[in-house]
Chain A
Amino acid sequence: MDDGFEAPYRLEYTYRRSTGAVIGRFLGALRDGRLEGVRTAGGRVLSPPLEYDPESGEDVGAPVDVGPGGVVTTWTWVAAPRPDHPVARPFAWALVRLDGADTAMLHAVDVGGEPGGIRTGLRVRARWRAERTGTIRDLECFVPHDGATPIDVARPTTEVSGPVALLPSPVRLDYTIIAGRHLRTYLSGLAKKRIVGGRCPRCRKVYLPPRGACPTCGVPADHEVEVRDTGTITTFCIIRIPFDAAPFPPPYAAVAVLLDGADMPIFHLVRGIPPEEVRMGMRVRATWVPDAELAPTLASIRWFEPSGEADLPYESIEAHL
């Protein structure tokens, strides 16, 4: 896989979700080791609860206790559980209709790891975690129950009670990102100290990197064109606040450079001049890393430095800002 143009990528959001009165109360009951539902105006009991009656769209009414026993209404087998699943050995996902409810709850059923142990109609009971925090995972899973023996009722383990207002709801997804052919052309060039752009065959503009479509013409802008490593600063920003990924101690200047032969600026850094003296229209030249360090990345250009040529007038960069 590793030709340098694929990379692992993780998308992560550290959301916390507000729950609302109905779900917040349900989660609070879970923390107490209890199962609840809500009654609709039509008399049905929904568990897990919804904020609305799916039949009528009306608000739902009073909470009601349900369970702790129930019956499996459908199931599917998980032969290879993942680390984040509720049960470590093979188990079933099932819809469980709790006693006293008219709808079913999706959760795991632990039948000892053997698929023969699960079936539609199986009587089950809740198994609770000892430490509960107000999430659906406080209910560890369901387990088979013969219906004859009384079901243990869990004891609250925290001083906290009442509804759960906020629920940690993190998102973490892993991807393999790819460069695609146009970015690959551009990055490959940088490893050879070449800067390759793409020309639109209609409007003749040269884009860096080449792109799948010219936004003005709608046709691929990928007729390969090598542009020079000299250019003009079109605009800039002086960074004065330090941050973890900063390339230098501040202050330093980040710049947009319109390379000679291109119509779109690239973003980079400028060195060799006090940041206060950086200006629009200033001519610069790329400083490359030593040849042994060249790689398919824009970091092959270490930074830009003033070339010593006279500044260009504003009119010459106006169309490229």
Chain B
Amino acid sequence: MSGIAGRDIAIVAFVELPPVSRDTEREEVELVQPVVSEALARAGLERRDVGFVCSGSCDYLLGRPFSFVAALDGVAPWPPILESHVEMDGAWALYEAWVRLLCGDVDTALVYAYGKSSLGDLPRVLAQQLDPYTLAPLGVDADAIAGLQARALCDAGRATERDVAKVAEGRRVSDGAAAVVLAAGATAERLAKRPAWIRGIDHRIEPHQLGARDLTRSSSTRLAAEHAGAFARRPDVAFLHAGFPHEEIILRDALAIDDAVTRVPSPRADPMIVAGLTRIGHAAATVLDGGADRALAHATSGPCLQQNLVCVLDASREATS
């Protein structure tokens, strides 16, 4: 699935900050400014050359309303720039930037995300995305809900008690930031020797009532993968966004990833809101540096893999399958 009017769009640069468990030195703008500067430098672009900027962040992580506005200084928004924001993982900001580039009036886009979870109680912050009528009043938090999914998978014989126990250990909170530069057509070929062409990208969501879903399957991942063309050809490498081991089992099944595909495990420190964008960034980087010809990236959001995005990247601009 390429763009409208045959407009091909590629990732030409990716940078992330090494995540730290608790960053007491940097506020949001200080997380964003270095990755933005470095990503643009790698792409050979000046700030003024960027056609569109889109960011992903979440005010609830920092407890600060309009946190994303404070971070904007890092991209030098004065004089005014063409800019947008999603209150989501940066993977969805990248999706918006991809759609924006399809419009054809701009040729480059900068996407960044930052997450600073160390200031609050992450499982309780994540509970804010639960149904406010039937779930939030119970005081149930995100890790407990992950435990329900792990148990269901264990009951189905597809996970072990060890996988269930992993959930009880809780998630590793970390702070971080990442940036990606996108470019269209000939511009991408000018900015990178080996652009990572987005051959397909799609995202899908499941009902917010957990009990209305089959928690042992990820139908939204499967559907997004079909629409992104992920099954047209086996990728060389796959970067999956899983908060817990049992989530990776469900994702591998949904994406039909077998042992012939190099799987890159989720890192120990995986900053919320940034993690999904880094999967796409790392997948692109393996294509950019010649490590793979075709890479698959996945990002997730919401309780128990509620919403999923799949992106297929390829060194070849033309369809080869």
**Which A residues fall within an 8 A CB radius of B?**
6, 9, 11, 17, 19, 23, 26-27, 46, 48, 50, 54, 73-78, 82, 84-86, 93-97, 103-108, 120, 135-137, 167, 169, 171, 173-178, 180-183, 211-220
Assuming the A-B contacts A27-B133, A84-B139, A104-B211, are A215 and B148 also in contact, with contact meaning beta carbons closer than 8 angstroms in the complex? no
A106 surroundings in chain B (CB, below 8 A): 134-135, 138, 140, 145, 148, 210-211
Distance in angstroms from A88 CB to nearest chain B CB is 12
Number of interface residues of B (CB under 8 A): 56
Residue among B36, B138, B206, B215 with the most chain A CB within 10 A?
A: B138
Q: Is the CB of A175 within 8 A of B119?
A: yes
Q: Is the CB of B25 within 8 A of A180?
A: yes
Q: Is the CB of B212 within 8 A of A46?
A: yes
Indicate with 1 or 0, residue by residue over B66-93, a CB within 8 angstroms of chain A CB atoms.
0000001111111100000000000000
Assuming the A-B contacts A78-B144, A212-B26, are A136 and B138 also in contact, with contact meaning beta carbons closer than 8 angstroms in the complex? yes
A48 surroundings in chain B (CB, below 8 A): 133-134, 209, 211
Q: Is the CB of A103 within 8 A of B29?
A: no
Distance in angstroms from B39 CB to nearest chain A CB is 12
Q: Is the CB of B60 within 8 A of A82?
A: no
**A140 to B208 CA separation, bound complex (whole angstroms):** 22
Distance in angstroms from B274 CB to nearest chain A CB is 17
Question: Which residues, 26 to 69 on B, are CB-close (under 8 Å) to A?
Answer: 26-27, 29-30, 32-33, 36-37, 47, 60, 62-64
A180 surroundings in chain B (CB, below 8 A): 24-27, 30
Shortest 10 CB-CB distances between A and B: which pairs? Answer: A76-B147, A104-B211, A218-B76, A212-B29, A212-B30, A175-B63, A74-B152, A213-B73, A180-B27, A84-B139
B262 surroundings in chain A (CB, below 8 A): none
Interface flag for B120 (CB, 8 Å): yes
**Which B residues fall within an 8 A CB radius of A?**
24-27, 29-30, 32-33, 36-37, 47, 60, 62-64, 72-79, 119-121, 124-125, 128, 132-140, 144-145, 147-152, 155, 167-168, 206-207, 209-212, 215
A94 surroundings in chain B (CB, below 8 A): 148
Q: Is the CB of B27 within 8 A of A182?
A: yes
Q: Is the CB of A75 within 8 A of B151?
A: yes
A120 surroundings in chain B (CB, below 8 A): 151, 155
**A92 to B176 CA separation, bound complex (whole angstroms):** 34
Q: Is the CB of B25 within 8 A of A175?
A: no
Distance in angstroms from B88 CB to nearest chain A CB is 19
* Residue of A26, A107, A173 touching B120 (CB-CB under 8 A): A173
